[in-house]
Structures are given as C-alpha cells and as structure tokens.
Structure 1
Amino acid sequence: MDEIKTKESRPLELLAPAGSFEAFKAAVENGADAVYLGGKSFSARASAANFDLEELQKAIRYAHERQAKVYVTVNILIADQEFQELLDYLYTLHEIGVDAVIVQDVGVAELIHTILPEMETHASTQMTVNTSWGVQHLEALGFCRVVLARETSADEMKTIAAKTPLEIEVFVHGALCIGYSGQCLMSSFIGGRSGNRGTCAQPCRMTYQLVNEEKENLLIQKNTGEHLLSPRDLNLAEELAELKRIGIHSLKVEGRMKRPEYVATVIRLYKQAINRIEDQPEGGPLLTSEEHQELLQVFNRDFTSGYFRENLGAELMSYSRPNNRGTRLGRVVRLESGRLFIKLEAAIHPGDGIELWTGRGREGVTVGTIWRDKTEVEEGLHGETVQIEFSGIAHPGDRVFKTNDAVLMEKARESFQEGREKRKSSLNMNLSGHKGDKLSLEVMEGERRVTVYSTSVAQKALKRPLTREYAFRQLGRLGTTPFWLDKLELEIDEGIMLPVSDLNEMRRLAVEELLQVKPRQRVDRQSYRQRVERWKHRQGEERASFQSMKSVIPQISVAVSNTETLQAALKGGASRVLVGGEHWRSQRGFSLEEIRISFESCRKLGIDCAWRLPRIINQAQSASLLEDLKRTAEWAKKPKLMVSNLGELELIRTVDEDWPFEVDYSLNVFNEASLAYFFRLGAKRVTLSPELHHEQLAHLAKWPGVELLAFGDLEMMVSEYCPVGATLGGKKGEHCARTCVKEPHYLRDRMRYDFPVETDQECRMHLFNVKILNLYEELAQIRRMGISTVRLQLTRQTPGQVRQIVRLFSEAWDTINLGKKASWTSDEGMAELTSLFPEGFTKGHFFRGVL
C-alpha cells in the first residue's frame, strides 16, 4: 500500500511526441513534462523528420532550461552489423544529457545496463509487456520504466502498478495499433517494411473484405465499411484522475508523425485536464465541451477508450475511413451559381478546410470568402446559413465536415512562435547591501538559489536614488529567457545608487548560472571504451564456450496444436515436437492432461518434446497458467517449456528457478546480444526472428542451439479485436454467436489476396500470411550455415498434410546431414509440397531481409 500511496502522490508526467524541432517546441511550450523523439538512427518512426545531433543538443538544452525531460527512442530491433554505430550513438546520447532511452531489443537493454548503467532505460510498448510478471523481468533487466501494451485494462494496470517499483507509462491519446505492438509482422511480410525496424507501412489502414471459403463478402449487406483493421483514435482525457489513482506515472500522447499544431493543441488540453484533477474531487469533467470539440477538431478517426474498460468490439473501430474525420459543420442547403449554401451547426472561418460527404464520395475544399445573404462576413456562426465559393457537385442534405480549423491552427502556432515563448519559471530576487560595498543579488527559482555581486560599490545618489520600482524594471528585463520576475525585495541603504550597467550585468550573470544544467554523473570516453571492450570480450568468450559444448543433434522440429496432428507428425518421422501454443476455436486443442500424456509417450519413443506457451496472455490468464505450471511441476518429470513472452519466463521461475526452457520466435531475437542474453539465463534453445535474412542467420548460426522457422504459417498479427465476432457476432452486450467456429474466414485485401483468420479460445484474432513459408529448397544452404534445427510450424494443417510435410522435410534433412548434399535435389519434394498448397509459397525474409 505504501508503494501505491507514493505513486499516487507523485505528479503525473505528460509525455509528448515530437517528430521535428517545431513539434518539440510546441510540446514544451504547451506544458509537456517530457518529450520523446527519435534521432536519425534506430527510431521506430523512421519516416518522421527526426533529429540530427545538433538538433538533439538544442532540444535538450531548451527542455532542461524549462525543467522538461527528453527521452530518445532506440526502440527497434538492432542488427549485429549496426552495433558499433549503436555503441557510439549511446555514448553520444549520454554525453549530451539525454534523460532516458526507450528500448525494444532485450539485447540492447542488457548491453546498456552493462556498459552504461548511468543511462536510464524505458521499456518500449514494442516489448509486448502486459502483466506484472513481464514487468518483473524488465526490472531485473535494469529498466526503470515500462510502457505497457495498449491492450492493458484499468484493472490490470492497477494490479501491475501495485506490484512493481518501476514507473508505469501508458498511452492516453492518439492512433492505436490494432495488433499487439512488437508482434505485428504484417507490413514486414507484405512489403518488407518492418514495424520492428521502424518502417511500418500501416497496412491495417487499408481496405479489406471479410470472406468465407467460397470467397463471398460476408458484410456486403451490412454496409459496415471496408476498413476492417482500422481502429479509432484513443482518448482518455476524462480518465486521467483514475490513471493517477491507479498509480500510473506517465501519460503518453502518440503522434511523432503529426504536425506541430496537433501536438500543441493536444498537449495544451491534456495539461489543463491534469491541472484540474485536484479541483474535481467528485470526479467531474476535466475538459469543457468546447475543449473536447478542440480535441476532435485537431484530428480524430472518432474516439475510443480502447481497452481501458472492456473490449469494445466494433465500437473500437473506424470502419468507414482510416483518416481524419473532422467535426460536423452542417448540411448543404443548395448549390447555386458557383455558391454553396450551408446551414451551419458550428462556426466557419476563411481558411478552414471542409469536406462534403456526397453520394459520389468525399470532396474537400478550403474556405475562401464567406457571405451571409449578400454581405461578405469574417465568420459564420451556428444556426446561420452562409455561402462559400464551390465548383464541385453537391446536393441538398449532403453532410459537411470541418477537417481543418484555421482559428485553432493559428492559436496553436502562436504558442510556439519564435520570440513568443510562454513557458517560463518565476524568480524571486533579493537585492541587498550598503553604501561603499558591492550589492548582492540573491535569485531563487523554486529550491535553487544563486548569488551574484555588483561590479561597482554602491554610492550616495546625487540625483536618482535606487528605488524598488526602478530595480524591478531593470532586473525584470528577462526577454526570451525561460524566466519572469515575480517578487523583488530590497534591503539596501536609503539614498544610494548603482549604475544601470551593473544591474543588467547582475541579472545576466544570475540567469547564466540558473541556465547551467546541474551536471549528472558522466562517464568519460576512455572508461566507456574499456567497458565496451569488456562487453565484447565477454560475448566472444560466451560464444566460444557455447561452441565448445556438445553440438546439437540436427533435428526437424514440428509445432502441432492437437493430439491428432501430433500423431501425424510422429508417423511422418518427427524427432522433435512442440505441443500446445494457441488453442484455436476452430479445432480441439491440447488439454493439460493430454500434454502430460504426450510428453510421456514422446519420452518412451526417444522423441524430444517441448510445451509451447501462448505468445499473448493477460494478467488473469497468467495467474491461471501459473496454477497449471504448479500442477505440472508435480509430474514425474517436468516437461521442457518454450516461452513466448518475458512474463512467461518469470512465471516458470516462480515455480522452479531451474525449470528447463526454450525461447520462441515471438521474443524477436534478432542479434547476438539477445541470443547471448537468453542463453545466459539458461535457455536450451532459441528460435530466431523470422525477419532475419540468410547472411544474418549465418552469423547467428555460430551459436549452437538456434532454431529456424523453415515451413508453415507465418502469423502476421495477434489482436484482442476479432473482426468476425465484431461484425457478425451479434450486437454489443449480447453473447457472441460463435460465428468463427462455423466456417473458415479470411480478410481479402484490395489486391484480392485472402489472409486466413483464426480465433483462439480467448477470442483473440490471429491473422496469417496468404502464402506458406517454405525454405525446403534452401535446406542444404541452411545446414551449411551451421543451423541444426529447423522448425515446421504446422498448427493449422490437417493430420494428412502434417504427416506428408514432416516426411518430406525429415527425409531431406537426414540426407543432407548424412553428407549427401550433392545427391539431394529439392525437385520431387517441391512438387509434392506444391500439390498440397497450390496457392504457392514465400521464402519470407530469407533473401530479402527487412528495411
């Protein structure tokens, strides 16, 4: 309870986005306590303008002078060949005074903790942490803050915050990803632009149709809209008091791709809401209706509270359009002689951007001259009918929306205009001394105090003695500095004078001293180099140590999702099986008892077996899994477990510190540092990221115990939102119609590719790639790299398909490993595989890699 009270009593941090220096200044000037931004490298918004080193230094100086912090994003997966650049970059960030770095890659997090523990690290939402167990692991990794997955509910946040000393950060406003961040490979597999590498192309904002096996559009009669993966924008402005009570520390606004005016407006309104929390003890509104209108106006896709209260289903989504909706302006009365008559429901001004929703689609126009009757006016008001010039087509009754408010934009721009900065701290001054002595000026800013002295001694005034009013006027000339003079006390002899140049110099010296940022603990470059060398040496020793261990027997690893496909895999010749994983609603999965029986059977047959845990589980599901693990620990022999997220790693350690485990591909192991991290923790095997290309794989293959996905369904997205249930499953509040189990479903994109949809027992959607991954033709090359275990991900295939695929791969792998590579050809096997999957295959990123 003490921890919660401490967290409750802490002021909320308002954390703003900035993709450019203008947006950064807009954030600070409108009240942000901290700003997160990206440098030119290693940032998850690679297409934002971002900050070069000079701009970064300027931003940090500007923020620190105004008691704001700067966090830099290093929130992508880092390739091995980029580590030297990363090492230099991290030291530069430390040297220029960055307050923290936001990190996704576990290898990078562990690296920073080892070589630069003075640097504060925040765990990115890309780490997919949504449970207290996941947060516990991040604490051990050296993080001081965690950004929770956007899918975390208020109750879960409260539980998590109560169980950790770490600061908790949550998103409160802006665009939502429909899938779990860090687990979305959709952009990556469709176009090679990876969200994990900062280049997401946002395919979720495109159009899709929900179709069945016969390829019928199941929503054609419903007029739902075709943006089936496009969520509304998050808005928790009225939940801020509860977030504070829960123990959340930082409120994050999304929007590094947004213009400065957006940042200025949203941050100003959220700051006002935070400031009003104490004035609303009964839980009254934190924003006025006019302020809510401004939030809507600056940008919205409709608003949602996301998963804060519950899973909203269809009400989470913006099916009809993926971009800014604007606000309702009125309706068309008529179009006559090039003038559009509009009955207004809100104000209109020259320069506003408006959009007409006509039967032919949407048409945008910028408002020029406005007329009321025949008189030109500066604005039109609610209830009035006005005219504007318009050369398009419109009909009476067409709706009109305002997409850009010129007055609001100008108000926003004024807030961060050069020379009109308003974010200033108040100063209290005390000028004291006697005739014949130098005067002292003590300046106080909060807890900070500085004292400076006049150059000359005070003399008896011949004409104008030094008065409080005169001193206040001179000392208060603080111009563009981040200060203003609030109070001045004079403790001086009557009738003395001091040259104005002395007063000005004292003011200048005091400001200069106040602007000197208190030096933090800095690491000199030589010490840093030594730490880096020690880290590299340790990694080399660990690699050599692992290589000297008994080599792993070459195996085909087969992931299956029920007892029938397990038997098929064994009949096909599998020497290693992975049971469990997600439990699809479309088929019967493994029960805990069936997992136990499967392990015993495999052990008797000499088959290596591991229990795959699901890639996403929430707080309640983690508690349930913990109980299952405790029961499993009592079996005659504990099964080997394959963890899919960091929370599961802590769950198994809770039961048994030495429980043997492996690491699944969903933990995004993309480099040696991450690989070494998991092996150091005791992992027996690690499945590598499916986003690596063959040259990167060859480098990582130096470590025994790596596994590579070589065949099967590539899961592109996992989401709490189910498009089948949301659109076909009945109205909100009714029981789901379980439509997902009645027939297979697909999302068809505008190129007419059909992406299979599976729903798991927790009603999460799993979206799969159109084409099956198939590296059958590359098996000889994969073995030459040194990779000993390749995986067949057969969690959606029929028993017949499983048996045939396992047989083909096992025969090929055995032939290659017996040294008969020259005699092996892939032709016959590929012909069989093609007959099973006539829609064709993909080699994933094996040759093309990701941006």
Structure 2
Amino acid sequence: MLKRVELLAPAGGYETMVGAFNAGADAVYLGGSKFGARAYADNFDTQQVLDAISYAHLHDKKIYMTVNTLVKEKEIGQVYDFMLPFAENKLDGVIVQDYGVMRLIRDEFPDIELHASTQQTVTGVYGARLLKELGCCRVVPARELSLMEMQAIREKAGVEVEAFIHGAMCYCYSGVCLFSSMVGERSGNRGRCAQPCRLPYQIQGKKGDETYPLSLKDMCTINIIPELIRAGIDSFKIEGRMKRPEYAAGVTSLYRKYIDMYYENPSGGIRVSDEDMEILKGLYLRTGISEGYYHQHNGRNMVTISSPAYNGTSDKVLTMVRDKYLQGEQKIKCTIDAYLTLDEAAVITMTVNKDGEDLVETVTGNDVQAASKRPMDEDAVIKQLNRLGNTPFDAESINVSIEDKGNGNGIFVPASELNELRRLLTEQMLESLSAHSKRQLDNKDAYLTTSVAGSSEELPRKDKKYRQIYAENERKGDYHILVNTRPQLKAVLNSISEYGSKLRIYVDSDLFFSIDEGLAARVMSFAGENAAEFIVALPFVTRQEEFDGCGDILDIINNAASKGFTGILVRNLEQLGFVREHSYRGTVILDYGVYVWNQHAAELLNELNNVDGSFRIDEISVPLELTIHEAKELSKALDARKLMPRTYNIYGRTPMMVSAGCVKKTMDKCSGKLHQFNREETRLIDRMGNVLPVTTNCRNCYNVIWNAHPTSLHKKLDSIRNTELFDHFRIDLTTESMEESALVLGAFLHGDKSAFEAIEQKGYTTGHFKREVE
C-alpha cells in the first residue's frame, strides 16, 4: 500500500485553520505571537494556538508551529516559556530556522518534532543528514531544488521531505536574503520582509520602461502531483499564511481532490479540469504561474517581467468556497448507546474512535421509572440525546434499548434528566480526548534562562578540548581580507607586504580554480614571507552536482594545500555537512550566512566538533544584521561559555540576494558558460536611482545582487577594537577594481587618510552598526 502524502495548509488565523481542515488538509502550519516568519499575518495568541491544537487533535489532524526566525541573544531566554504550554498540549511539530532554537526545543521538548525550515537553505543530502544528526526528522528544502534533488534527499538522508507545491516564490534562496533588511529595517530573517523583489528595476545600459526582473511567478504544481508523489515527498506544503481564508480552503480542496484521484488509480494519472484551473487562478495567484524549479534551473518564463500583481478574484469562486468550507467547525463523529431498564439506573455511553482506538465514556442516572401516563419510546429518547448542536460532537448513530420487564406500562425518564446526562457525557468525552492529547513534562524548571551563565565544568565533554584550545589563543584583532577577482588578489599581494601583523586572505572558489602554477607559486611564497594564511571561500550556494563524483568541493578539500591554501570558509549547511563527513582537517571558518545569533546556536554547532580532532569548527563570523551592541552581547555570552573565536566584518558590499535566477539570462541571454569560471556583471537601478551590481557565478549557476554601497566602519574602528570582543576584522573586496582594492587596503591596513576620504566620496553605509532590524 502506498504511503499517503500529507497535505499541509497555511493558516494566518483560526477561521483559516478550520476552513483548511474542512477542505481536506491533513495538517496546518501557523505562527504564534512571537518568533514566526510572517510577522504581518494575523497569527495566533497563546490561547488560540492551544485551541487550534485541541481542535486539530480532536479531528485526527496535526498542527505545526512556525518558530522560524533568527533569535537574538537577548531574546533566546524567552523561547522556553513561550513553547512550554504548546509542548504540554502535544504540539505536533515546530518549523525552525535558528540553530539555538533548534537546540533548545530538541533538548527541552524532545517529544515535539523538529522540522528544518526552508530558511535553513537545505540544498542537498549533506545538509539534510547534518540536520538529522542535530535532531530534525523533517527538512523543508530550498524551493530552488529540482525534483531529482528532492528525491535524492528523501532516499539518502533518512529524513522526511516537506516541499512547497503552490503559492508565492521568493527570488532569493530563502534564509540568505538581506535585501529588505539592508534597504530598511525589516528583515526577512525576522518575518518582516518588505518584498523589494516585487518592485520595478531598470537594467543599466538598456533602454525601455522599468520591469520586474526579480518578481517570480507563483508556483502551481497541481498538474505534476503524480511526479511529486512518486518522488517520495512526504508533505505537500501550500504557501500563504498572509492570505485570506478563502485562499487556504479553496486551494487545499483542489489539491485534496487530485491527490485522492491519484491514489484511487496510481497507474492512470490525473487530468486537471479547465474549470478547476480557473478556480485556482482566481484564488490570489499572480498574473503568471509556473511549476517552480522542479523541472528547470531558471529562466525568463519563471519571472513576471511586466507586472507582479495578482489576478483578480472571482466573487463566484469566493462565495462557493465560503459556503462549502468556511461555515464553522467540523464535528467529531460519535455513537451513543442508551440502556433504560425499569427500576435500574439509566446508563448512557458515548464512543469516539481516536487513533484507531475506541474511547468510551459512560454516565449513570437515576433509576428508570414506570410510566404513569404516556410511556417513553425510542424516538423520544433519541430526540433528547441528539441535541448536540452546541458541542463538538455529531452522533452517527444513537441506539436505545428499553426494557420495562413486562409491566405493560412502559418506562419514563424526565427530559431534564436525559439532557443532564447528555451534558455530562459530552463533558467527560471532551476531557478524555483532551487528556489523550496532552503530555506531562518532567523538566519544567530545568532550563536556565539567563543569557550568560555556566562555567566550563558544566559543559558537555565533547566541547572541552575545543574550549581549551580557544582559551590559549590571544585575541590580536588582526585583519582578514576576502577577494573575488584576480585583480583584487594582485592588489592584496602588491599592497600588504609591508603590513606587520599576520594576515588571512580568503580567495573565492571561482578564483581558486583559475589559479595557475605561476600564481600558486606566488601565493605560497607570499604566505611564507608575510606570515599570511590563504583560505578558500566556498560558493554562497552549492547544489548536489557540486559534490557528486569529482565535484568542486571535493577537489578543493583534496587539492587546496597544493596551492598553498590551509583552510576553507564554509558558507552553508550543505558544505558544513560535506566537509565534516569527509573529516576535513584544515582550518574551518563559518561565514556570516551560517547564522550564530545566540549562544545556543554556537553550542549546537560546537556539537559537530569531533573529540578525536578529525573535524573541528575553528571560528565563526558575526552575522551582518546584528548591531554593534547585539554583536557585543553575543560575544560576551560566547566568551562566558568559552565558545568559538569570531570575526567581525568592517568593510564590504553586502550580498543582498543569492539567486538561482539569472538577471542576465532573464533580461538578455545566457552566457552559455555553465560550470566554467565566468564572472560577469550586470547592474540594476532601483526607483531611487541606486545602482545594484549583479554578478554571475556561472560555475555554480547563481547570481549575487550586491548592495549599492559598501558597508564601511572606518569611523567606528577604534570603538570596535576597544571592545576587545572580536578576534579578527574582515575586509570583503567584492566588485572593486584593482585600484579601488588598493585604496581600501591602504585605508584600513595603513591608515591612509586620503584613502578614507576617497571611500567617503564614493559613498558608503554603516549597515546595521546602529540600525537594529525589527
């Protein structure tokens, strides 16, 4: 028998949840009053979440809660109290992004399933396996994955796969988008995305009106349901917690229809009617739809181009959906049996089937009397017992047994007594069902909510070797420099030979593969003469093909040393899982995209260090969305726990988007250089006239959209250094020419005042140094 796929619907409010269940959803995902990635949805307060859990479990449905934002150090202590009532009431699962939240829920509420959010940017088997090891039983992979990649995760990672099948699509890989945050204060990682991808942009150098090159069409996969099921996907997820109840119910009902149609005849396929497609298009879909990335990596046909607007909605469709699915809560099916025997106590039972088990409740009344006038018949009893309108029950059958012991006059039970027995019976059954759904927690007071606490003696044994190594290191505040191009690398080699302190130079992986023997020899010579360390910066995104066989990442970890490179900058979970599985012994630094916003996140990642030293995370990078105050809070907490050394970024353009979509391909044509070292630049102009560089990474087939201005903290450098909380300071050279790179290096490494003035004249931002994200 085929395992049936779960149909998972969104709910921004209680009515939406009820409508989705009425329409056939097996589970609903919703957000509470905190920590959810849709801060502008109606969302549920604590009591509403508890009511939702109770309602769902009464109907053999599931509730998954989104706790899928990044959580600051000052907030992490609130998570336990926030989650406790939901855990006690048997919340089925939690969708998480933050590693610290993951660790806390895993350790404190082990009965709640952990589902890794699409915000964790899972792009393959290695990241999924790593998350399984850390406690997740399900992952929501990046929407950008192909059907084959989804299937590989399901078959090789040993975790359930939850995949989006319908709704809006982000242009950027979820979890790595900083666009909204950098142009304002509304962070997508905090559930407050302002959707700059839906705004118009011009392509620099191209004539014509503004277009919408970053606005993807909505996903609609109803025609490929059989393929998705056969790929082994466990849960079909409908996007849309901010949309109306009619959307959730209407879309759910149609996917329910065609999923069931497939299971009725798996070999026969399905054919979606034109009428049903029109209904879907009339339920808040954008002007164009696509099947997402399941069968293509990118393309112009996935982008709205001319308009990001929604289709008009059909009043007829909305009325139909409301009338059919939004008319109140479902009833719990039950059977009632009444045994009325003369001179014996009246006995009434109610039976409800729960999880394949019959729950039976019984109430007993007064002795049944002989009728003095008109005897009571079965219909009269049924009429009283069937008055269940204000209860959650619906009697499928009511069986009445009357025994008057042959007195000839019949029996009589007052209607008021039958009503009271019915009331008591429904209350008892509700209590029984509720108890069936609740769990008791033994460790309510076990969680320490203070942000900075504990000593090394209290820490897990696996951490001690690492912390001892860290404790011996002196915090020198030296510079790290990242380069993306050959001219930038040459600028580094030419400019910093006079710099007195130790340097670390990160070389983008694209550039690494282009290094010939001559340049490799120069790198090795420079490293020896200047006490410099060279590190390969892995791609922002890696897909399965880059690991298979003799893929890029394997090539790097096997051959980097031969070119003078001693370590890697890890930029995502996929890479972290891969290098750990391969017991990479070089230096491992986590980039700012492997988010450590709180001490619990660092603790979770610290678990990945092998006691035998075969793998170790050496350093982390402070996230770009933290203010200096928040970064200091985090650093103090990590120092108190003797956790990882950290790097603080002081210069560089922020990568605001990393996308599978290609602006150049969409608005012009593909370079045709897939898997080759090819870095080209396009420029977008926003409504304010800001010019956003867009670089292509053809080797790994993704785009990076950079901020219009670099973040430069040159005026804050002394105050940052004086905190003595950061181990290293990083300079990222992204789109700079050789001359511009030399200018930046002169400013920061040598304190050249004229170079600082040149940076200011070109324009810069201080990013989130003081500007806190919401």
TM tier, smaller: 0.7 to 0.9
Q: What amino acid is the match of 2:590?
A: V
Aligned equivalent of 2:624: 690
Identity of counterpart residues, as a percentage? Answer: 31
Change (3 A) 1:92 1:444: closer
Q: Describe how 1:273-284 pairs up with structure 2 within 5 A.
A: 273-284=258-269
Aligned equivalent of 2:727: 788
Q: 1:671 and 1:480 mapped to 2: Cα distance?
A: 47
Q: What amino acid is the match of 2:314?
A: D
Q: 1:46 and 1:661 mapped to 2: Cα distance?
A: 35
Change (3 A) 1:633 1:489: farther
Q: What amino acid is the match of 1:455?
A: G
Shift of 1:710: 1.1
Shift of 1:430: 4.3
Shift of 1:675: 3.1
Contact 2:298 2:662 in 1 (8 A): no
2:539 counterpart (593, 614, 617): 614
Q: 1:106 and 1:626 mapped to 2: Cα distance?
A: 24
Aligned equivalent of 1:570: 493
Query: Per chain length, whose mean CA-contact separation is higher, i.e. which structure has more relative contact order (CA < 8 Å, sep 6+)?
Result: 2
| SS in structure 1 of the partner of residue 694 of structure 2 | strand
| SS in structure 1 of the partner of residue 158 of structure 2 | coil
Change (3 A) 1:451 1:549: same
Aligned equivalent of 2:179: 186
Shift of 1:630: 6.2
1:805 counterpart (736, 739, 744): 744
Q: 2:598 and 2:55 mapped to 1: Cα distance?
A: 36
Contact 1:122 1:147 in 2 (8 A): yes
Shift of 1:314: 1.0
| SS in structure 1 of the partner of residue 656 of structure 2 | strand
Correspondence 1:846 to 2:769: yes
Q: What amino acid is the match of 2:292?
A: G
Change (3 A) 1:87 1:590: farther
Contact 1:661 1:684 in 2 (8 A): yes
Shift of 1:406: 2.0
1:726 counterpart (666, 672, 684): 666
1:426 counterpart (314, 321, 333): 333
2:759 counterpart (827, 833, 841): 833
Correspondence 1:174 to 2:167: yes
Q: 1:242 and 1:156 mapped to 2: Cα distance?
A: 13
Q: 1:84 and 1:285 mapped to 2: Cα distance?
A: 50
Shift of 1:655: 1.3
Q: 1:602 and 1:674 mapped to 2: Cα distance?
A: 36
Tell me the alpha carbon deviations over residues 263-308 of structure 1, each in whole angstroms, 9 at most, x when there is no partner.
Answer: 2211222222222221242343364321211110121112111101
Shift of 1:684: 1.1
Q: 1:532 and 1:672 mapped to 2: Cα distance?
A: 12
Q: 1:509 and 1:675 mapped to 2: Cα distance?
A: 53
Moved more, 735-744 or 260-269: 735-744
1:450 counterpart (353, 360, 372): 360
Would you say how many aligned residue pairs link Structure 1 and Structure 2? 733
Q: 1:625 and 1:115 mapped to 2: Cα distance?
A: 39
Q: 1:131 and 1:191 mapped to 2: Cα distance?
A: 32
Q: 2:151 and 2:375 mapped to 1: Cα distance?
A: 63
Correspondence 1:553 to 2:476: yes
Aligned equivalent of 2:407: none
Q: What amino acid is the match of 2:134?
A: L
Contact 2:99 2:601 in 1 (8 A): yes
Change (3 A) 1:602 1:158: farther
Correspondence 1:68 to 2:65: no
Contact 1:563 1:594 in 2 (8 A): no
Change (3 A) 1:167 1:458: farther
Q: 1:552 and 1:470 mapped to 2: Cα distance?
A: 86
Q: 1:551 and 1:316 mapped to 2: Cα distance?
A: 51
Moved more, 90-99 or 649-658: 90-99
Q: 2:368 and 2:517 mapped to 1: Cα distance?
A: 92
Q: 2:518 and 2:191 mapped to 1: Cα distance?
A: 41
Structure 1 gaps of 5+ residues are 326-402, 813-825
Q: 1:12 and 1:76 mapped to 2: Cα distance?
A: 27
2:696 counterpart (759, 775, 795): 759
| SS in structure 2 of the partner of residue 247 of structure 1 | coil
Shift of 1:512: 2.9
Contact 2:162 2:233 in 1 (8 A): yes
Change (3 A) 1:714 1:657: closer
The alignment's TM-score, normalised by the length of structure 1, stands at 0.79
Q: What amino acid is the match of 2:598?
A: N
Change (3 A) 1:75 1:144: same
Change (3 A) 1:588 1:84: closer
Q: Describe how 1:478-517 pairs up with structure 2 within 5 A.
A: 478-489=388-399, 493=403, 498-515=413-430, 516-517=433-434
Correspondence 1:158 to 2:151: yes
Change (3 A) 1:50 1:275: same
Aligned equivalent of 1:528: 444
Q: 2:17 and 2:417 mapped to 1: Cα distance?
A: 36
| SS in structure 1 of the partner of residue 176 of structure 2 | coil
Correspondence 1:248 to 2:166: no
Aligned equivalent of 1:41: 34
Q: 1:468 and 1:658 mapped to 2: Cα distance?
A: 80
Q: What amino acid is the match of 1:727?
A: M
Q: 2:403 and 2:202 mapped to 1: Cα distance?
A: 84
The alignment's TM-score, normalised by the length of structure 2, stands at 0.87
Aligned equivalent of 1:604: 528
Q: 1:309 and 1:797 mapped to 2: Cα distance?
A: 36
Moved more, 286-295 or 621-630: 621-630
Aligned equivalent of 1:640: 567
Shift of 1:195: 0.5
| SS in structure 2 of the partner of residue 230 of structure 1 | strand
Shift of 1:774: 1.0
Contact 1:261 1:412 in 2 (8 A): yes
Q: Describe how 1:285-684 pairs up with structure 2 within 5 A.
A: 285=270, 287-301=272-286, 302-325=288-311, 403-415=312-324, 420-421=327-328, 423-432=330-339, 435-438=342-345, 439-445=347-353, 446-458=356-368, 469-489=379-399, 493=403, 498-515=413-430, 516-517=433-434, 518-523=436-441, 527-532=443-448, 537-538=453-454, 548-573=471-496, 575-581=502-508, 583=510, 590=514, 600-601=524-525, 603-605=527-529, 606-623=531-548, 624-625=551-552, 627-628=554-555, 631-632=558-559, 639-656=566-583, 658-680=585-607, 681=609, 682-684=616-618
Structure 2 gaps of 5+ residues are 405-409, 610-615
Aligned equivalent of 1:54: 47
Shift of 1:474: 3.9
